[in-house]
Amino acid sequence: RALRYAAPSTARRPVSVFADHCFRRSPVPLPMARRILRLGAPIGALATGALAGASRKASSAAAPEHFDFLVIGGGSGGVASARRAAMYGKRVAIIERGPDRDQHGQRRGGGYGGTCVNVGCVPKKLMYTAAAHFEAAETAPGYGVEMGKPRLDWGALAAKRDAYVARLNGIYTRNLDNAGVTHVEGLARFVAPREVEVAGARYSADHVLIAVGGRPATPPIPGAEYCISSDGFFDLKAQPEKALVVGAGYIAVELAGILQALGSSVSLAVRGAGVLRHGFDPLVQEIINAEIPRSGTQLLTNTQVVAVEKDAASGKLTARLASGERLTSLDCVLMAIGRTPVTAELGLEATGVQLDGKGRVVVDEKQETGVSGLYCLGDASTSGFELTPVAIAAGRRLADRIFGGAADAKFEYANIATVVFSHPTIGTIGLTEPQAREAYGDANVKAYKSVFKPMHFALC
């Protein structure tokens, strides 16, 4: 096995992380909660005003209900920004669509916590940990430990995973209540730059943040309706015996690795010469592309799925590739070909904001859209770095700048650590070697690399 050396971050852990943990572990009286939250604010910032959180379904009203700060999207970034603004004594509301589905049963909203909590980082890490137990059983005999062949109860694992996620959803809503944030459930649609309508009721604010995130992309191919996405992975009721994963990004690599480690027969189809082709060092790319087939996953390169067919009698799927090859008897075809922002249904034409070619809201380095009082962050923006901790930090800095007197507060989109839960795992931070050479010139860059076998595998 090989590991990628990643330089440790020198950034000090913010005190506001401690405040989050305090709320997660045990409820605290509101005055104490206010004091804890203030620890994470800029020096000199004062929180004033009453905390009076409430949850409500959208209801009609003659005039819009007005707030100081209105957040659209109850993901991690939106919640973090809303809570920080409430800390400053501002009247804050957050609108969350909720975990609803379309007519085909596909998820359209994640619920409180967003993608990361509901169908992303959190449940993925739980599945990865289950896979790690299988891998431990494989290496244990080398140390004289006989564990036998492991057997997975997929249903039991999924039930415990989903219960854990539901508990986190509850923590998110309780944290909003503790901070005094009003939360409204429903789909928001803009009727003016700083006014939205939700199920007939209108809400306005001096400052509005769009933090709606994204959803998995679906390819326009025949039979796409038979495929699942990374969201659908967490809806599987049984472990697929034979699966095809399509995509070259980290989501495809992670889910293919999890399924393979848990005992499924897995093929991974990619459009180019390998996986993780963008944003990773050549060393990382070389190692992971060698390890994937060595682990037992069939890596199909320079190809695309052009159609998927379903046998009505058996329910099995057949994937037809651009090369003419057919993969048969598949239990699932998982598309992980990228993500698209959830902006099309927001009525953004009423706001005057600009969208890029992918539907993302164009913002500057301070999350500002160019429309007064209207901001955007996270996966729905052009900020880059579609990572939960990034959205959380950006949301807090935004609230600090608007309400906390920190005029220059903004998130620095540089030197951001990234982890891929592949097999083996990848950790990286800063510029890749090609990026460094382009920025500073070959003469000013030296690269050191070491490939070795970790001691974990010394006896097996």
Predicted confidence at residue 50, as pLDDT, reads 39
Predicted confidence at residue 101, as pLDDT, reads 79
Q: What is the pLDDT of residues 239-276, one digit of tens each?
A: 999 999 999 999 999 999 999 999 999 999 999 999 99
β-pairing, 332-335 vs 228-229, is: parallel
**Is residue 118 within 8 Å of 128, Cβ to Cβ?**
no
Q: What is the pLDDT of residues 402-450, one digit of tens each?
A: 999 999 999 999 999 999 999 999 999 999 999 999 999 999 999 999 9
Q: 298 in helix, strand or coil?
A: strand
- Taking CB atoms within 8 Å and a gap of at least 24, the contacts of 415-418 are 415/9, 416/385, 416/387, 416/390, 417/6, 417/9, 418/279, 418/387
Q: 199 in helix, strand or coil?
A: coil
Predicted confidence at residue 98, as pLDDT, reads 87
Q: What is the pLDDT of residues 337-361, one digit of tens each?
A: 999 999 999 999 999 999 999 999 9
**Is residue 86 within 8 Å of 44, Cβ to Cβ?**
no
Predicted confidence at residue 105, as pLDDT, reads 75
> Is residue 57 very low, low, confident or very high in pLDDT (cuts 50, 70, 90)?
low
**Alpha carbons 76 and 111: distance in angstroms, whole number:** 10
DSSP class of 246: E
Segment 18-40 mean pLDDT? 39
Predicted TM-score (pTM) of the model is 0.86
Segment 139-153 mean pLDDT? 95
Q: Would you mind telling me the total number of residues written for the chain in this entry?
A: 460
Predicted confidence at residue 145, as pLDDT, reads 96
Predicted confidence (pLDDT) at residue 16 exceeds the cutoff of 80: no
Tell me the backbone φ, ψ of residue 127, rounded to 5 degrees: -65, -40
Predicted confidence (pLDDT) at residue 113 exceeds the cutoff of 70: yes
